[in-house]
């Protein structure tokens, strides 16, 4: 199995390459700029499509001590695979989840006294305190508690046997907007929370878009996701990040078309003259959006060629007229091919979304191949 990339992918219809050297370099670039604040590496949503297990393993080997995911199920998946870092499950959990939380030593967000009670009970039973983070809703109005409620709950949790209040945190609403002045008022409210609960020493509020630009938000640690994967938020200077993920496929069929021939469902696209089309075995079920039909481009033989016709669930077509393409040729959907490259930001813009969505939407049906300098070091099974 451990071989070079070319050999490992020779008979695959589609695959995702994850460049672990680029991941390491991005993590180092981010960490260096955050210091002395720690890095909480956000690996939710299958590490933004990159594969949560291998990404977490690689980051932890490199010295990342903290991981964050959205849901408890994601945290348990990492623990079951033997990841021993601190893991914060950021979103809502139920009191009935207390056993799993404490048994698996997951840091969670606590939003009610009832939940705290259930966690503390397990903490006492297992002789190891449940670790909770108190989240202040400073204006995003997503998960968390209003300042007064957070402070009141904090007082009740302080010193509760079986429970440790391990962190105070919040999340920014306008971090990556060109005008992010709203972050100032959020920061002020978070500072008020910190002043009211000075006994909680570990504080975290920044995400990628704020961590680099706003030193005052770094606190003890910053929760960075998208930058680890090589995406720089629009309003943030690039610290020299490299894309980690490439999406590739092999032409499944190359065909000649006559003038007037249509391709794919609805026959929306029609050849204006003699043409050649190639079939690319990636579809909307893999996260390659249907709205890219007749709009997107891919790389073949180092050239950009247009997508034609509608994207199907499992495949789509490209116009390779005048390009020397044959069945089995490597096609790059995301990533670099010779001098050309296609970024997640470019694809996101074409589909009216953000690179966070383009990457995290990439499905589990496509195998992930992890490499360092072209040598395969791990593979995630598809599905
Ligand atoms: C996803 C998420 C992050 C990471 O955001 P990036 O923009 O990818 O850095 C941080 N904190 C919370 C609460 C999140 O949901």
Residue 1 scores a pLDDT above 60: no
251 phi and psi, to 5 degrees?
A: -55, 125
Exposure class string for 209-233: b at 16+ Cβ within 10 A, else e: bbbbbbeebbbbbbbbbbbbbbbbb
Which atom of ligand 1 is nearest the CA belonging to 175? 7
Per-residue pLDDT of 155-201, as tens digits, reads 999 999 999 999 999 999 998 898 999 999 999 999 999 999 999 99
Per-residue pLDDT of 274-300, as tens digits, reads 999 999 999 999 999 999 999 999 999
- Report cis status (omega within 30 of 0) of the bond before 36: yes
How many angstroms separate the alpha carbon of residue 137 from the centre of ligand 1? 15
Query: 121, 265, 270, 295: which is the annotated catalytic residue?
Result: 265
Task: Please indicate whether residue 182 is annotated as part of the active site.
Answer: no
Residue 145 scores a pLDDT above 60: yes
How many angstroms separate the alpha carbon of residue 143 from the centre of ligand 1? 13
Residue nearest to atom 6 of ligand 1 (CA): 225
Chain Cα centroid distance, residue 276: 36
Please report where in the chains the tokens 């999406």 appear, as a residue: 247
How many angstroms separate the alpha carbon of residue 41 from the centre of ligand 1? 9
* Cα-based torsion angle of the residue sequence 8, 10, 14, 18 in order, rounded to the nearest 10 degrees: 30
**Residue 132 Cα distances to 36, 101, 160, 164, angstroms:** 23, 10, 12, 6
Name the residue of 27, 55, 71, 207 to mutate for ligand 1: max ligand atoms within 8 A of Cβ. Answer: 207
CA distance 162 to 23: 37
349-363 mean pLDDT: 97
Per-residue pLDDT of 94-132, as tens digits, reads 999 999 999 999 999 999 999 999 999 999 999 999 999
CA distance 2 to 383: 21
Q: Which residues line ligand 1 (CB under 6 A)?
A: 42, 44, 90, 171, 207-209, 223-226
Which atom of ligand 1 is nearest the CA belonging to 224? 9
Residue nearest to atom 12 of ligand 1 (CA): 171
Give the model's confidence band at 380: pLDDT under 50 very low, under 70 low, under 90 confident, else very high.
confident
Give the pair of three-digit tokens for residue 283.
Answer: 């579809």
Name the residue of 42, 170, 239, 354 to mutate for ligand 1: max ligand atoms within 8 A of Cβ. Answer: 42
Task: Please indicate whether residue 295 is annotated as part of the active site.
Answer: no
How many angstroms separate the alpha carbon of residue 73 from the centre of ligand 1? 17
Per-residue pLDDT of 210-264, as tens digits, reads 999 999 999 999 999 999 999 999 999 999 999 999 999 999 999 999 999 999 9
Would you state the pLDDT for residue 68?
98
Residue nearest to atom 7 of ligand 1 (CA): 208
How many angstroms separate the alpha carbon of residue 58 from the centre of ligand 1? 19
Would you state the pLDDT for residue 374?
85
DSSP code at position 228? G
Is 38 strand, coil or helix? strand
Name 280's bridge partners.
316
Would you state the pLDDT for residue 383?
56
Per-residue pLDDT of 63-91, as tens digits, reads 999 999 999 999 999 999 999 999 999 99
Average pLDDT, the chain: 96
Task: Please check whether residue 244 is in contact with residue 26, taking contact to mean a CB–CB distance below 8 angstroms.
Answer: yes
What count of residues does the chain have?
A: 383
Residue 2 scores a pLDDT above 70: no
CA angle 255, 285, 294 (to 5 degrees): 50
Per-residue pLDDT of 303-349, as tens digits, reads 999 999 999 999 999 999 999 999 999 999 999 999 999 999 999 99
| Closest to 60 (Cα-Cα) out of 74, 76, 81 | 81
Which atom of ligand 1 is nearest the CA belonging to 207? 9
Would you state the pLDDT for residue 176?
87
| Closest to 99 (Cα-Cα) out of 117, 79, 82, 122 | 122
Residue nearest to atom 13 of ligand 1 (CA): 171
Which atom of ligand 1 is nearest the CA belonging to 223? 10
How many angstroms separate the alpha carbon of residue 226 from the centre of ligand 1? 8
């Amino acid at each position: 199995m451990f071989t070079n990339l070319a050999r490992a992918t020779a008979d695959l219809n589609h695959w995702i390459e994850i460049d672990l050297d680029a991941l390491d370099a991005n993590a180092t670039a981010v960490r260096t700029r955050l210091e002395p604040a720690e890095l909480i590496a956000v690996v939710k949503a299958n590490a933004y499509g990159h594969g949560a297990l291998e990404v977490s393993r690689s980051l932890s080997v490199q010295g990342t001590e903290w991981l964050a995911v959205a849901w408890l199920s994601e945290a348990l998946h990492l623990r079951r695979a033997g990841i021993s870092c601190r893991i914060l499950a950021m979103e809502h959990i139920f009191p009935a989840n207390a056993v799993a939380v404490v048994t698996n030593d997951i840091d969670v967000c606590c939003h009610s006294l009832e939940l705290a009670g259930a966690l503390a009970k397990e903490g006492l039973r297992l002789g190891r305190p449940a670790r909770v983070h108190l989240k202040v809703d400073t204006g995003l109005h997503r998960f968390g508690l209003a300042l007064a409620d957070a402070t009141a709950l904090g007082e009740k949790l302080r010193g509760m046997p079986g429970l440790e209040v391990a962190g105070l945190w919040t999340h920014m609403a306008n971090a990556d907007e060109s005008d992010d002045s709203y972050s100032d008022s959020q920061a002020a409210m978070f500072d008020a929370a910190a002043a009211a609960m000075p006994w909680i020493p570990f504080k975290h509020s920044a995400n990628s878009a704020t961590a680099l630009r706003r030193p005052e938000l770094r606190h003890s640690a910053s929760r960075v996701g998208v930058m680890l994967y090589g995406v720089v938020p629009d309003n943030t200077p690039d610290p020299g990040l490299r894309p980690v993920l490439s999406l590739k496929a092999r032409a499944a069929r190359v065909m000649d078309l006559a003038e007037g021939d249509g391709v794919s469902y609805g026959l929306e696209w029609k050849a204006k003259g003699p043409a050649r089309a190639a079939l690319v075995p990636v579809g909307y079920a893999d996260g390659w959006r249907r709205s890219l039909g007749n709009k997107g481009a891919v790389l073949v033989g180092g050239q950009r060629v247009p997508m034609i016709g509608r994207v199907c669930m499992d495949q789509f077509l490209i116009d390779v007229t005048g390009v020397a393409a044959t069945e089995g040729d490597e096609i790059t959907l995301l990533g670099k091919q010779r001098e050309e490259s296609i970024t997640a930001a470019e694809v996101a813009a074409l589909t009216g979304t953000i690179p966070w969505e383009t990457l995290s939407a990439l499905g589990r049906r496509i195998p992930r191949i992890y490499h360092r300098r072209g040598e395969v070091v791990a593979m995630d099974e598809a599905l």
